[in-house]
Amino acid sequence: MKFATTAIHIGQEPDELTGAVTVPLYQTSTYAQEAIGKHKGWEYARTQNPTRSKWEACLAALESGIAAYAFGSGSAAVDTVMRLLSAGDHVVMAEDMYGGTYRLASKVLSRFGIDFSYVDMRDLDNVRNAIRPTTKMIYTETPTNPMMTITDLRAVAAIASSVGALLVVDNTFATPYFQRPLELGADIVVHSATKYLGGHSDLIHGIVATNRPDLAERLQFLQNAVGAVPGPFECWLCLRSAKTLHVRMDRHAANAMAIATWLESHPAIKAIHYPGLPSHPQHALAASQMSGFGGMISIELGSLERARHVTEALRLFCLAESLGGVESLVCHPVSMTHGSVPLEQRARLGITDGLVRLSVGIEDVSDLLADLEQALA
Ligand SMILES: *Cc1c(COP(=O)(O)O)cnc(C)c1O
């Protein structure tokens, strides 16, 4: 079955009880049992919820996994994946990460005896050199937020398996429509479904997928034991959103490509980061592991004053954190999403005061271009 059909049919079967074409919202905390030890397979809604199970089945199929587990946020999903580890374990993590994941690693998990090395994964030697006897996980994000760098997933998967470490990939930016890390050798995929999977800027949600039975069993245990589960309504909204994921992603990517091409030759732009541009230093690598380049673009405007002026002058691009919704957003990473990344690290990565990130929506692209033109003038 092809992607678009899977998105609309797997986990989205008509309700067995009533024939309802849309999966029902099971807003319940518990389930009646017939007698002691005799029940329908549903006991308590932290452990299982039918709406959640359908969404988990849908996302698992979209990511080419065997199972998926949903969480109350992307951050809760990342945190639960990290609980596969124990004190004394070491993780090699990409240094150009979502700020909240960096904060979770450096300010929370490190206090529990998990060690992290942060490396620039564009150079595979950095990954190899960071490996220790205690390395149990390699964690990356590609394309990265906000610098849009690409990790060679096939190569990093080979390094991970050669040392017996797990490869975990945050696939939030690409979505399974454009990139399926499990097919490229990753063991676990993580999403902030708050972004493209939800797609309408109306929910907070996370999800994890795997293609390994042993990991599926442990993740299911952790989902129940830690309990960072979502409500069923968010799962229901994600099922609704999955049905249009392919259509939305095609438009996000087409609009972003048109805007990136136009911005690249604009005199006010000092640098542009979009993996779909042939001038992106890792364009060929991106094209070898992604079937499209997504809707995220970062631009360097040169100064805080320029960034302030442009973000305030934009009318359709709303100044807000987050990304991946149908409406276009603009964000200033230094002051909004990446404040927790230390100054020197930000400077090394290129996250400057003049950097602005665009989440290109699915509006008519001519209106978006006109908005950018007047704001940059
Ligand atoms: C937003 C985001 C997260 C965190 O997800 P929440 O749903 O906000 O908790 C993790 N990774 C990436 C790449 C993100 O963009």
Q: Could you tell me the pLDDT band of residue 34, with boundaries at 50, 70 and 90?
A: very high
User: Cα of 243 to ligand 1 centre, how many Å?
Assistant: 21
- Alpha-carbon distance values, 248 to 106, 113, 204 (Å): 35, 41, 19
Dist. CA 344–CA 358, nearest whole Å? 24
Q: What angle do CA 316, 318, 320 make, to 5 degrees?
A: 165
**Quick check: 58 pLDDT over 90?**
yes
Question: Does the Cβ of 135 fall within 6 Å of ligand 1?
Answer: no
User: Cα of 100 to ligand 1 centre, how many Å?
Assistant: 7
Cβ burial of 161 (10 Å; 0-12, 13-18, 19+) is middle
Neighbouring C-alpha atoms within 13 Å toward the C-beta of 322: 24
The DSSP secondary structure of 59-72, one letter per residue, reads: HHHHTT-SEEEEES
Q: Which residue is closest in CA terms to ligand 1's atom 12?
A: 98
User: Cα of 61 to ligand 1 centre, how many Å?
Assistant: 21
CATH 3.40.640.10 for the 3-242 domain, yes or no: yes
Q: At what angle do helices 213-226 and 74-82 cross, to 10 degrees?
A: 110
Question: What single-letter amino acid sits at 319?
Answer: L
Q: What angle do CA 181, 207, 97 make, to 5 degrees?
A: 60
Q: What is the pLDDT of residues 185-194, one digit of tens each?
A: 999 999 999 9
Dist. CA 287–CA 24, nearest whole Å? 39
Q: Which atom of ligand 1 is nearest to the CA of 322?
A: 1
Q: What are the residues whose beta carbons fall under 8 Å from the beta carbon of 229, sequence distance 6 or more?
A: 46, 49, 52, 70, 71, 72, 223
Out of 170, 187, 353, 371, the active site residue is 170
Q: Tell me the best of 98, 175, 179, 296 to mutate to test the pocket of ligand 1, counting ligand atoms within 8 Å of each CB and taking the most.
A: 98
Question: Does the Cβ of 192 fall within 6 Å of ligand 1?
Answer: yes
Contact 134, 104 (CB under 8 A): no
- Alpha-carbon distance values, 165 to 84, 104, 107, 368 (Å): 12, 20, 23, 44
Question: Does the Cβ of 144 fall within 6 Å of ligand 1?
Answer: no
Pick the closest to residue 34 from 44, 45, 46, 43 (CA basis).
Answer: 43
User: Cα of 254 to ligand 1 centre, how many Å?
Assistant: 23
User: Cα of 174 to ligand 1 centre, how many Å?
Assistant: 13
Answer yes or no: 128 catalytic: no
Is residue 89 classed as helix, strand or coil in its secondary structure?
coil
What is the pLDDT, as a whole number, of residue 233?
98
Q: Tell me the best of 194, 204, 359 to mutate to test the pocket of ligand 1, counting ligand atoms within 8 Å of each CB and taking the most.
A: 194
User: Cα of 75 to ligand 1 centre, how many Å?
Assistant: 6
Give domain limits for the chain. 3-242, 245-376
Contact 93, 139 (CB under 8 A): yes
Mean pLDDT calculated for residue range 175-185: 98
Q: What is the mean pLDDT of the chain?
A: 97
Q: What are the residues whose beta carbons fall under 8 Å from the beta carbon of 115, sequence distance 6 or more?
A: 88, 89, 90, 91, 134
For residue 331, give the H/E element and its range.
Answer: strand 329-331
Question: Does the Cβ of 191 fall within 6 Å of ligand 1?
Answer: no
Q: What angle do CA 238, 241, 246 make, to 5 degrees?
A: 130
- Alpha-carbon distance values, 91 to 73, 87, 177 (Å): 22, 11, 28
3-state SS record for 251-280: HHHHHHHHHHHHHHCCCCCCEEECCCCCCC
Answer yes or no: 195 catalytic: yes
What is the pLDDT, as a whole number, of residue 12?
97
Question: Does the Cβ of 75 fall within 6 Å of ligand 1?
Answer: yes
Q: Could you tell me the pLDDT band of residue 248, with boundaries at 50, 70 and 90?
A: very high
Contact 328, 356 (CB under 8 A): no
Residue with tokens 């989205």: 12
Mean pLDDT calculated for residue range 228-256: 98
Q: What is the pLDDT of residues 327-373, one digit of tens each?
A: 999 999 999 988 778 888 888 888 999 999 999 999 999 999 999 99
Question: Does the Cβ of 96 fall within 6 Å of ligand 1?
Answer: no
**Quick check: 323 pLDDT over 90?**
yes
Q: What is the pLDDT of residues 270-290, one digit of tens each?
A: 999 999 999 999 999 999 999
Residue with tokens 């040169």: 302
Answer yes or no: 170 catalytic: yes
Other Cβ atoms within 10 Å of 243 Cβ, number:
15
Q: Which residue is closest in CA terms to ligand 1's atom 6?
A: 74
Residue 135 DSSP one-character state? E
CATH class of the 245-376 domain in this structure: alpha beta
Q: What angle do CA 314, 315, 317 make, to 5 degrees?
A: 70
Question: Does the Cβ of 142 fall within 6 Å of ligand 1?
Answer: no
Contact 56, 11 (CB under 8 A): yes
Q: Checking phi first, is residue 356 left (phi over 0); if not, alpha (psi -120 to 50) or beta?
A: beta
Residue 44 DSSP one-character state? B
Question: Does the Cβ of 80 fall within 6 Å of ligand 1?
Answer: no
Answer yes or no: 79 catalytic: no
Paired residues of 115 in beta bridges: 90
Question: Do strands 355-359 and 296-300 pair parallel, antiparallel, or not at all (unpaired)?
Answer: antiparallel
pTM for this predicted structure: 0.97
What is the pLDDT, as a whole number, of residue 267?
96
Out of 195, 248, 346, 357, the active site residue is 195
Q: Which residue is closest in CA terms to ligand 1's atom 5?
A: 74
Q: What is the pLDDT of residues 95-127, one digit of tens each?
A: 988 989 999 999 999 999 999 999 999 999 999
Out of 26, 69, 98, 177, the active site residue is 98
Q: Could you tell me the pLDDT band of residue 35, with boundaries at 50, 70 and 90?
A: very high
Q: Which residue is closest in CA terms to ligand 1's atom 1?
A: 192
